[in-house]
Amino acid sequence: MANTTIDPAILKRAQAWLDDTNIDSETKSRITHMIENDPAELAESFYCDLEFGTGGLRGIMGDGTNRMNKYTVGMATQGLANYLKKVFANDHEISLAIAYDCRNNSSYFSNIVADVLSANGIIVYLFKELRPTPELSFAVRYLHCQSGIMVTASHNPKEYNGYKVYWNDGAQLVPPHDKNVISEVQKIASISEVNFAGDPMKINILDESIDNEFLRISKSYSLAPEVIAPAKNMKIVFTPLHGTGITLVPKALKNYGFENIHIVEEQAVSDGNFPTVKSPNPEEKAAMQMALDQAREINADLVLATDPDADRIGVGVKDIDGNYILLNGNQTAALLTYYLIKQWEAKGKLKGNEYIVKTIVTSELISDIAKGAGVEYFDVLTGFKWIAEVIRNLDGKKTFIGGGEESYGFMIGDFVRDKDAVTACCIFAECAAWAASKGKSLYELLLDIYLEYGLYKENLVNVVKKGMSGQAEIKAMMEGFRANPPKEIAGSKVKLMNDFALSQATDIHTGKISPIDLPKSDVLQFFLEDGSKISMRPSGTEPKIKFYFSVRSHLNDASSFKATEAKLDGRIEEIIVSMGLR
């Protein structure tokens, strides 16, 4: 045995599971094997409790307190059930909707969640098959539930699973409920406190009628059906990357009027092992390669993709030379925002109380487009729960057009209160049809936007720090930048630092401090005199710190686009090197 190499505190935590009569023998056997043969894996599995964050759970699947398994899921769900019963104590009944994605064990975990909730007297509406995140958000609202759970780890690697918690407005948890749920989860000290004895009489299985309602309302957001009819045969390649998008996106596109849809069949198979991709993330070109290859074969007009839970959208278009390129999240959001506002203008729908929302790390091009049309815009922290919070606060006062973030998420209208790649795919296809009606490609439309508002270029660097030591390194990096902010970056002076953990903005030249009216968050931003913006924040779902870079230049004409873009790419690289990230 290798006990002498194991931290005594970790061994004690593992032994507690071995001594617990509530844990099955198979789990205990695997824990014993780790003790005897794999001390490193034992340490990673038991050095802490899997954190129930402000959005829910996410972690590597396996045995132990720091892994996604029946027991950690059960304890988290028991805590949520306890909180729901406190908050809604006066309600006649409490109900919750559950959906799940294609990941390994997603169906299993959804049934564990349903059992624990129903054992606690909560009515459960469980989708009988995998369904996208936006449909879960919709179902919470449509069924008048007090809460919802989406079992997914979004675009994380195959080893991960998790679940996101939603409140009665269909949005993810925000204060005070996020912290209050965490508090209740932390009170669950033992697996013996979890009631796993599900009540089948309280579990209702949802059928396709929810799909039909979702698709019906999604289609109502179409702004220019007259441009779709002439473009109905536009060739669209779609890949769900083995995920839930296959259940709704092709139907939604056809519902809008698009008839020539080509599925990447190898990736239409729902599979939590994601056999055709290293990572099921539409942000990565490798994940999109099969769709791009198919697009070239058939000379497609548009490439669309969704991540495993179909809340993020990936887009590929032809450039001016006929080569297929991938749009980044900022470009996708800019095109959608531009199209929505232009159509609202054309249809006479702008009455002066409309608005859009973006996150603080998303391109300022979005706000420029809004300002250019006299549409109000709001900046919020990263995460669609904050966009949904703005909608909730302005409900009945102002009209939400759309909102997005650089990480490939966009939401159109307010019938869903989270990223909705299903409707976004349809509106993007409609945007392509609109551009075609003007004799333009999507790429040419994007160039028009740059010519009008300036060429913005963004990049993202992820610094991954895994395990116990990684958390400490990430914390140290943030503390270092916060305590000793740079006065100059890549030859340009820093003029403003936003510290969202302290809710204050500091003018570097004058030392003047101004308040930031947003919730506290571990995010830093530096604005340079040359117009560059640099943001950094630890990921809330993965073991990494994210650095966002944005630079801008005037674009003289379309023919100088590539040269100007290359210049901006060089500028971003200078900034990255200057900050010691290369």
What are the DSSP E strand ranges found in 168-243? 203-206, 236-239
Residue type, 60: I
For residue 339, give Cα distances in angstroms to 244, 316, 449, 558: 26, 17, 10, 20
- State the CB neighbour count (10 A cutoff) for residue 333: 30
Cα separation, 153 vs 163, whole angstroms = 7
315 close to 304: Cβ distance less than 8 angstroms: yes
**d(C-alpha 267, C-alpha 305), whole Å:** 10
Distances in Å between the Cα of 571 and the Cα atoms of 366, 463, 567 are 21, 20, 6
**What counts of helices (H) and strands (E) characterise the chain?**
18, 23
Q: Do 49 and 73 meet the contact criterion of CB atoms below 8 Å apart?
A: no
Question: What is the DSSP code (8-state) at residue 266?
Answer: G
Whole-number Å distance between alpha carbons of 478 and 482: 6
Question: How far, in Å, CA of 461 to CA of 114, rounded?
Answer: 39
**Tokens 């699973």, located at residue:** 161
Q: Cα separation of 18 and 32, whole Å? A: 8
Report the C-alpha gap between 477 and 570 in whole angstroms: 25
Active site residue 437: no
The two structure tokens encoding residue 566: 């290359």
| Parallel, antiparallel or unpaired: strands 147-151 and 160-167 | antiparallel
Going through 32-139 in order, the beta strands assigned E by DSSP cover: 56-60, 95-100, 123-127
Q: Closest Cα to residue 431, out of 441, 418, 416? A: 441
Q: Which of 443, 401, 457 is nearest to 574 (CA)?
A: 457
**CA–CA gap between residue 517 and residue 26 (Å, rounded):** 51
* Strand intervals (E) in 435-487: 455-464
Contact 266, 256 (CB under 8 A): no
Task: Single out the catalytic residue among 154, 222, 407, 553.
Answer: 154
Q: Which two tokens stand for residue 152?
A: 């997914």
Annotated active-site positions, please? 154
